[in-house]
Amino acid sequence: MTGEEHASLLLRQSVRYCVKSEANVPERYRRSREVLPALLEEFKLLGDSKPGAKTLDDRALEELARTIFEAKEPADAARTAASALGDGLAPEQLGEALSVAANQLILRDRGRTEREVQSGKPLGSVHGDSIGVHACDSANAWRHLARAAGPRNRSACLVLGAFQVALDRTNRGGEFLDWKPYPLEEHLAKVSAKEPAELARELDGAIREQDQARAAAIVHRSGELGHEAETMLSVLRRYAVSQDGALHAEKYFGTVTEEIAANRPAFRTRQLVGLARVTASEYGRTAPGSTRRGGYSRADSAEPQRTQRAQRERARRRLSVSLAVPQSSRTLSRSPQVAQKSGMHKDGKGHRV
């Protein structure tokens, strides 16, 4: 949607936001700045050596994920990650463990309490900026950054990813170590359907009834029977684009589809179960733009469209001027020409972004 011509502008906004936020960084986040460099040095992850190639079987990977998830302190989870990399574990394997660990925060969440209720986020809901949704999106982002980074920053991303998962579990409250992951046995006992089409219909009904437990159980049963994930995704996709989701519906759907593609079969169904919960939770609040096509309603004529495009272009130019970087901060910005030469507009594979 943005295109290369707007990338530098958007990057400056992000840099300014981060610099401004430096004045009010909470202590719980400052701690990572002490932990990370010490661990990178201790486990010899500061060099430019090739990444490890060690792989784990399903049981060992789940045990690694559990160790990160159950860490007493975020620093302990970070140490576990750094130690694994130091022992030669392939970065993608550690990234998968982060994904599995973060997914538990969706599966185990008991939903918003009375003091956490907000407009569009009722009692018991798990969509929007819930602990689990944020944790899964964060783990997904750290994995992408690690794939695009060089050796040292790749290790830093994954160590920070482990730190973040443990922080998410401990920082916002909840007895996640005691709560059991969805679906519970009593939820599964109520699912009798076996055929893909029947399960898809029942999932659609559970979503419309905002029944998180039943939606999770139906998707779990589908995976248990070995059905293709796309059967369930085809139902969930409709609601990802039609429901508001408190600004997170489409983003979290993207996270789950990427994690299903990246993770091994043993852990894919769990991602779908989490998405089913969130989808049932967010149902009933239609996304503002879901009834429009191509950004304009049928009543819009060609002339208003041209006027709107011209207005957006003028606004973009004004914003570009207002965000001009002062001379004292020039090192935080690069011109589009310099950025292009340095690869700032390319992803880790050299593709334009």
pLDDT for the residue numbered 348: 47
Q: Cβ(152)–Cβ(317) under 8 Å?
A: no
Global confidence as pTM: 0.77
Rg from Cα positions in the chain: 22
Identify the bridge partners of residue 24 per DSSP, sorted by sequence position. Answer: none
pLDDT for the residue numbered 8: 82
When the pLDDT of each residue in the chain is averaged and rounded to a whole number, the result is 83
pLDDT for the residue numbered 326: 38
Exposure b/e, 195-208, CB count within 10 A at least 16 = b: eeeebbebbbebbe
Render pLDDT for 297-339 as a digit per residue (tens, 0 to 9): 333 334 445 555 565 565 555 444 433 333 333 333 333 343 3
pLDDT for the residue numbered 344: 36
Residues of the chain whose pLDDT is less than 50? 294-304, 318-353
Render pLDDT for 194-221 as a digit per residue (tens, 0 to 9): 999 999 999 999 999 999 999 999 999 9
pLDDT for the residue numbered 317: 55
pLDDT for the residue numbered 28: 76
pLDDT for the residue numbered 311: 54
